[in-house]
């Protein structure tokens, strides 16, 4: 599976619209958790990040980190951390989290 990037076909979009590429990437298993665990700027090692993510398999973690790196959301220098774009995305996700906390779906009748 290739990294979803703007301008390239992704799940749900043959044109690769940027928002569709982002949603494809964020919808992959463990992606949001990895971003969440990198929010504090601590720069964990691979093993530390794996532990923070409740034991995600090393192969899945490696794949997600590669994808996030190719998307310029996560960097790796003396540990893993959010890039400038990753930090900007995380700030947007926090706003989405705030909205979700106030979300009140209509109850079935």
Would residue 46 count as lying in a domain? yes
Instruction: Give the count of domains, the chain.
Output: 1
Q: What is the pLDDT of residue 33?
A: 97
Would residue 107 count as lying in a domain? no
pTM given for the model: 0.90
Q: Between these two residues, 102 and 1, which has the higher pLDDT value? A: 102
Least trusted range by pLDDT, from 8-12, 57-61, 67-71, 96-100:
8-12
Q: Which domain holds residue 52?
A: 30-97
Can you give the CATH number for the domain in which 44 is found?
Answer: 1.10.10.10
Q: What is the pLDDT of residue 109?
A: 79
41-88 pLDDT, tens digit each: 999 999 999 999 998 999 999 999 999 999 999 999 999 999 999 999
Would residue 19 count as lying in a domain? no
**Cβ(26)–Cβ(15) below 8 Å:** no
Would residue 66 count as lying in a domain? yes
């Amino acid at each position: 599976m290739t990294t979803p990037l703007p301008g390239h076909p992704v799940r749900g979009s043959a044109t690769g619209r940027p928002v569709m590429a982002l949603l494809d990437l964020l919808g992959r298993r463990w992606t949001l958790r990895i971003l969440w665990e990198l929010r504090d700027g601590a720069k964990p090692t691979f093993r530390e990040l794996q532990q923070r993510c409740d034991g995600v398999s090393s192969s899945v973690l490696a794949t997600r980190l590669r994808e996030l790196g190719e998307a310029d959301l996560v960097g790796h220098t003396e540990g893993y951390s959010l890039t400038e774009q990753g930090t900007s995305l995380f700030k947007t996700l926090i706003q989405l989290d705030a909205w979700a906390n106030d979300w009140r779906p209509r109850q079935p009748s």
